[in-house]
Amino acid sequence: MTNTTQRPRTPNRKRSSTQTNRETLVATRERARNYRSRARSADLMGILCWVSVAVSIALYLAYSGASQFTDPGGMVTAVGIVTGLAGTDLILLMLVLAARIPWIDHTVGQDRAIALHRRLGKPALYLILAHAVLLTIGYSISDGTNVIAETISFFGLGSDMILGYVGLGLLVLVVITSVITVRRHFAYEAWHLIHLLSYVAVLVALPHQLSIGGVLADGTLQRVYWIALYVAAFGSILVFRFAVPLVRTFRHRLRVEHIETIAPGVFSIRLHGSDLRRLGAEGGQYAIWRFWSWRTWWHAHPISFSAMPTDRTIRLTVRELGRGTTRISRLRAGTFVSIEGPYGIFVDQARTAPYLSVIAAGIGVTPIRAMLEHAHLRPGEATILLRGTDQSEAYLWHEIGQIAQNTSASAFSMLGPRPRHVSTWMSAHALEHGITLESTFPHLHDSDLFICGPTAWADEVVADARDAGLPEHRIHIERFDS
Amino acid sequence: MPIHTFETMGTVASIRTRTATRPASLNRLESVFRRYDETFSLYRPASELSRIARREHELMNSTAGVRAAYAEAVEWRNLTAGDFTPHRPDGIIDLSGIVKALSMNEAATLLDRMSPEGWLLDVGGDILSSPSFDEPWHIGIVDPADRTGLLCSVLLEAPWRAVATSGTAERGEHVWRTDATGDFTQVTVVAGDIVTADVLATAILSGGRARLDAATADYAIDVITVGRAGELLTTPRLRSVLAAS
Amino acid sequence: MRKRAIAASIVSSSVVVLVGWQIGTHTQAAESSATLAIPAPTPSSRASASPSATPAPLATPAPPATSTTAPAPSPNAPATTNTFTGSVASTRYGNVQVQITVSGGKISDVTALQLTNDDSRSAQISNRAAPILRQEVLAAQSANVDSVSGATYTSDGYLKSLQSALDQAGL
């Protein structure tokens, strides 16, 4: 819809070029403004994270002041309480990061939020473990008993305390399975189910925090803050992970219309639904899809739009990677489809520079295809490099070629295998001929570089772009695990 | 230690890095030298400098890179009272005395990104190292009497990053002499940056003892020279290092 | 932008913690007999809590007291001026000796007392190249060097050069 045909290069050529310049200027300014506001939001997010941890420490200090730090037992106990508060705060932060809140997705992207979520996992667990261990030791010192007697006396404090131990056990289980899954010894779906237990773990830990600790005693501001924190974290999960997707799914009533194989192992799925513009999808975004046939409903698939949705149809393009995707290719027309999303900042809106450089490999071409379609491109603004091992990987290339033609963009292809024993994103042939990112993208230093392809390949391009001195905010990347 | 060599500017460059570098980065690095060569080489008829030499192109209208290099060369000519000069006796502008150093400087910024752990760049006998490195590099200095042997070796330690040697041996009269006496057959300068080292080595070789004394007085450099009869001169710091390393 | 965010995080976090601390010390001082909801009956820890509350009221008037007396740190530092002279250090530019002047407990002046001749030329003269005998220069083994500096060789010359040998040996 945005592909205006190439400007006629007849009499008023001069006027049109000044007009183009003005458009560029306006677009560049707007991008700079968008970038600054995103950067500010990202900063604010980081500050909020740190401050929330600081607040959890302050909660304790406001309660006890320095009074606890005088004898060894009191000191250990104090540190134990603080680690408990800070650890719980981190877990709540992790929930917020995983809640797919639109503000977070627009600002840093869901993948970076999840990366941070993962990084917080172990510190949170260690803090909570330290909380249990230190409090047991601290109290046993103060009481002059031993650790075991103290633990038994803890159990005597009632059901809240026992629930606290249950929460601790669940947490250990969740983190251990996460670590194992990352090392790929564990089925993803099973892990995900166990992962949901972390919600339970944080919830069952709440009673002992409120009833036993003095920090959050009834009638204190601390208690109000703490409960608000819980409400915010679980509320954002409920709203953005469950309510919003449900509403969207039933509002748009998506069904599979047609599945077409476009290359061996690669197929396009056309969905139809109603009022799809309200999704507000941008080219380059993805959504998490669930296809409700009895063999596929339990597996959610993150898949990029491979074309801009119209009001009635959506197109997705998928490469078969495992049994899950193979089953999708056999779905019947009419299968109900649920949607979570759209998500992602691999979009034209995220650009900050006057030119656009695009590089895609294999099936990574799909979000690129939609992004280019969505972008308002001046003639010559974009340069596109499509990378494949051979001609059989040239998925959707003719469509990209069409867009390139319509916007006078330069589109190149680089076919051929990577050289052996050498890590590079280029083909052996291109490498031998001294090709660089700069020689491919003449405006590289005035452009945003959009990279989409398999993880290892994409990382090579990113490293190369950094080498070339491209600033981090101009490198946009979408990785496909294959 | 990974070593990468390639031909450029009529000579060979070799790069040592502490860790492996990616081939794409090496392509980029080579392209820096290629670009300088394609612009400045008088051996390439199509280069900008060749076209200026043939009066097909005005220096005043040349690209910013050429003008900047020329301006820097002229400044060095003034600082060395003409012992270093960007002009051939026939009046042709020849920036070969400074272009290699300039291209090494530009390559340095790439190398810092490619191999932040440290690197050593040798282009045809001129050497530049990363700004910081764990252990000092040992740099051998060629014996002009026997070019397959070493005269000595020096330790390259921060803030000294660059070693350049000028001699009469290999490329004939590549240095334009201002006095006919010719005190030295080889001059090696150790300095903080490669342009200073390269230019001063050329200037001292051409200007003889007077330029040597002026240069050691004005710049934080170390020098070792070889005279006609093979006699050596060296600055005090280097003397202690040479005797110890 | 990022650095500013880090700085802002540090500042705001510290402020939050400090505010918490302030509130804590005040409430502790105010209600030192507040019941602590500590699970186990621990008289020992409660006993330790009350004496610790005593420094708190002391700490509150303390800051104004120190700030008023700040301009006169006279007890330790009489308002006299002392000079101290360092030992002679040899540097690349000759010998240097440094003198510092201390008045009112602060360093008020630093002067380089002595270059070799009290003449800036000295540094230059001391860097003058002087003859060295070949025998004084330790013969270097090519295997012990990382790279070789020599007059620019041609691509052909490189093949016969030491540098080429080093590069091929992977040293």
Q: What is the CATH number of the domain that holds B130?
A: 3.10.520.10
- Interhelix angle A72-98/C43-53, rounded to 10 degrees, is 90
Higher pLDDT, A74 or A257: A257
Query: Mean pLDDT in chain A?
Result: 84
Q: Kindly tell me if the per-residue pLDDT of A344 is higher than 70.
A: yes
Query: Interface partners of B (3+ CB pairs, < 8 Å)?
Result: A, C
Q: How far apart are CA C24 and CA A168, in angstroms?
A: 29
From the number of C-beta atoms within 10 Å of its C-beta (0-12, 13-18, 19+), residue A16 rates as: middle
Residue among A191, A69, A49 at smallest CA distance from A123: A49
Contact predicate B231/B156, CB 8 Å: no
What mean pLDDT is predicted for residues C101-125?
Answer: 51
Nearest-CA residue of chain C relative to B7?
Answer: C155
The pLDDT of residue A31 is above 60: yes
Q: Is pLDDT at C76 greater than 50 in this prediction?
A: no
Contact A361, A371 (CB under 8 A): no
Contact criterion met (CB < 8 Å) for C52 and A154 = no
Decide if A60 and C14 are in contact by the 8 Å CB cutoff. no
Distance from the B179 Cα atom to the nearest Cα atom in chain C, whole angstroms: 20
B23-40 helix and B64-79 helix, angle to the nearest 10 degrees: 70
- Contact at CB, A214 and C6, closer than 8 angstroms: no
DSSP one-letter code for C73: -
Q: How distant, in Å, are the alpha carbons of A59, A83, A125, A209 from that of A78?
A: 12, 9, 18, 14
Cβ contacts of C108-114, under 8 Å, gap ≥ 24: C108/C81, C113/C85, C114/C88
In single-letter form, the type of residue at position A468 comes to A
Backbone φ and ψ of B162, nearest 5°: -130, 140
Min Cα distance B137 → chain A (Å) is 25
Q: Does A59 touch chain C (CB under 8 A)?
A: yes
Kindly state the average pLDDT of the residues B64-69. 92
Residue B165 exposure: Cα atoms within 13 Å on the Cβ side: 34
Contact of C161 with chain B, judged by CB distance below 8 Å, is answered with yes
A464, B110: Cβ pair inside 8 Å? Answer: no
Considering CB atoms only, which of A51, A157, A212 is closest to C12?
Answer: A51
Confidence band of A13 (pLDDT split at 50, 70, 90): very low
| Order of strands, sheet of B146-156, starting from the edge strand that comes earlier in the sequence | B146-156, B137-143, C147-149
> Model pTM greater than 0.90?
no
Of the candidate ranges A13-27, A50-64, C89-103, the one whose mean pLDDT is the lowest? C89-103
How crowded is the C-beta side of C40, counted as CA atoms within 13 Å? 25
Q: In Å, how far from its chain's centre is CA A27? A: 27
The pLDDT, as a whole number, for residue C49 is: 35
| Cβ pair A467:B27 closer than 8 A | no
Q: Between 1.10.10, 1.20.120, 1.10.1060, 3.30.460, what CATH number should domain A29-248 receive? A: 1.20.120
- Model confidence at C127, pLDDT cuts 50, 70, 90, reads confident
The helix or strand, by DSSP H or E, that contains position B224, with its residue range, turns out to be: strand B222-227
Choose from A40, A45, A67 for mutation: most chain C CBs within 10 A. A67
Contacts of C132 in chain B (CB under 8 A): 232-234, 239, 242
**Average pLDDT value for residue range B7-34:** 87
- Nearest-CB residue to A43 (from C8, C10, C38): C8
Q: Can you say how many angstroms the Cα of residue B43 is from the centroid of all Cα atoms in its chain?
A: 19
3-state helix, strand, coil in chain C (%, to 5): 45, 20, 35
Among residues 116-135 of chain C, which lie with CB inside 8 Å of chain B?
121, 124-134
How far away is chain A from the Cα of B73, in angstroms, using its nearest Cα?
A: 28
CA B36 to chain centroid: 14
The Cα A89–Cα A94 span in angstroms is: 9
On average, the pLDDT of chain C sits at 60
**Residue in B24, B109, B113 nearest the CB of A436:** B24
Which domain does B77 fall in, by range?
3-244
Relative to beta strand B146-156, strand B137-143 is antiparallel
Average pLDDT over residues A301-329: 87
CA distance C87 to chain A (A): 47
- A53 interaction partners in chain C (CB closer than 8 Å): 13
CB-count exposure of residue A362 (10 Å: 0-12, 13-18, 19+): buried
Chain B hits for C116, Cβ within 8 Å: none
Res B119: pLDDT: 92
Cβ pair A54:C44 closer than 8 A: no
CB contact under 8 A, C10 and A65: no
Q: Which of A156, A154, A197, A144 is nearest to A175 (CA)?
A: A197
Residues 206..235 of A with a Cβ closer than 8 Å to C: which?
212-214, 217
Q: Tell me which residue in B3, B217, B243 faces C167 most closely, judged by beta carbons.
A: B3
Partner-chain contact A65 C28, CB within 8 Å: yes
Q: What is the rounded average pLDDT of the residues C134-150? A: 74
- CATH 2.40.30.10 is held by the domain A253-343: yes
Residue A109 Cα to chain centre, angstroms = 5
> Looking at the 3D structure of chain B, how many domains does it have?
1
SS (H, E, C) chain A: CCCCCCCCCCCCHHHHHHHHHHHHHHHHHHHHHHHHHHHHHHHHHHHHHHHHHHHHHHHHHHHHCCHHHHCHHHHHHHHHHHHHHHHHHHHHHHHHHHCCCHHHHHHHCHHHHHHHHHHHHHHHHHHHHHHHHHHHHHHHHHHCCCHHHHHHHHHCCCHHHHHHHHHHHHHHHHHHHHHHHHCCCCCHHHHHHHHHHHHHHHHHHHHHHHHCCCCCCCCCHHHHHHHHHHHHHHHHHHHHHHHHHHHHHHHHCEEEEEEEEEECCEEEEEEECCCHHHHCCCCCCEEEEEECCCCCCCCEEEEEECCCCCCCEEEEEEECCCHHHHHHHCCCCCCEEEEEEEECCCCHHHCCCCEEEEEEEHHHHHHHHHHHHHCCCCCCCEEEEEEECCHHHCCCHHHHHHHHHHCCCEEEEEECCCCCCCCCCCCHHHHHCCCCHHHHCCCHHHEEEEEEEEHHHHHHHHHHHHHCCCCHHHEEEEEECC
| CATH entry 3.40.50.80 includes domain A348-480 | yes
Question: pLDDT for A206-249, tens place per residue?
Answer: 888 887 767 777 777 888 999 999 999 999 999 999 999 999 99
3-class SS of residue C33: coil
Identify the pLDDT of residue C109.
61
Measured between beta carbons, the chain A residues lying within 8 angstroms of B35 are: none
- Give the residue-averaged pLDDT of A396-422: 84
**Cα dist. B149→A179, C40, C141 in Å?**
58, 83, 9
Distance separating alpha carbons of residues C77 and B68, to the nearest angstrom: 58
* Number of Cβ pairs < 8 A linking chain A and chain B: 46
Indicate the residue of B24, B30, B31 with minimum beta-carbon distance to A464: B24
B chain contacts of residue C162, beta-carbon cutoff 8 Å: 140, 142, 147-150
Chain segment A131-148, per-residue pLDDT in tens: 989 888 888 887 777 778
- Identify the H or E element spanning B89: none
Test B125 with C127 for CB contact under 8 angstroms.
no
pLDDT at B59 over 50: yes
User: Does C1 contact A66 at a Cβ distance shorter than 8 Å?
Assistant: no
Confidence of residue C39 (pLDDT cuts 50, 70, 90): very low
Question: Phi and psi of C102, rounded to 5°?
Answer: -115, 120
| pLDDT tier, A66 (very low <50, low <70, confident <90, very high otherwise) | low
Residues in chain A: 482
- Distance, CA of A61 to CA of C17 (rounded, Å): 7
| Residue A43 touches chain C, beta carbons under 8 Å | yes
Q: Do A51 and C48 touch (CB under 8 A)?
A: no
CA atoms of B235 and B217, how far apart (whole Å):
11
Q: Compute the distance between CA of residue C42 and CA of residue A99 in angstroms, rounded to an integer.
A: 42
- Whether A296 has a pLDDT exceeding 60, the answer reads yes
Which residues of C lie closer than 8 Å to A, measured between beta carbons? 1-2, 4-6, 8-10, 12-14, 16-17, 19-21, 23-29, 36-40, 42, 44-45, 48-49, 51-53, 55-56
d(CA C67, CA C70): 5
* Of residues B1, B125, B236, nearest to C153 (C-beta): B125
Contact at CB, B27 and A463, closer than 8 angstroms? no
Q: Is B166 helix (H, G, I), strand (E, B) or coil?
A: strand
**N- to C-terminal Cα separation, chain C:** 43
Which of these ranges, A70-79, A327-336, B52-61, has the smallest mean pLDDT? A70-79
Per cent of chain B over pLDDT 70 is 93
The gap from C-alpha A430 to its chain's centroid, in whole angstroms, comes to 33
Whether pLDDT at A476 is above 90: yes
Closest CA relative to residue B156, chosen from B48, B37, B241: B241
Bridge partners of A411? A384
Alpha helix (H) residue ranges in chain B: 23-40, 48-53, 64-79, 96-114, 194-218, 236-244
Question: A67 and C6: CB-CB below 8 Å?
Answer: no
Q: Which of A58, A143, A213 has the CB atom closest to C16's CB atom? A: A58
Distance from CA of C92 to the nearest CA of B (A): 7
| Cα–Cα dist C145/C13, whole Å | 52
All partners of chain A with 3 or more CB pairs under 8 angstroms: B, C
Q: Which residues of C touch B243 (CB under 8 A)?
A: 136-138
| Cα–Cα distances in angstroms (integers) from residue A172 to residues A125, A261, C83, in the given order | 7, 45, 64
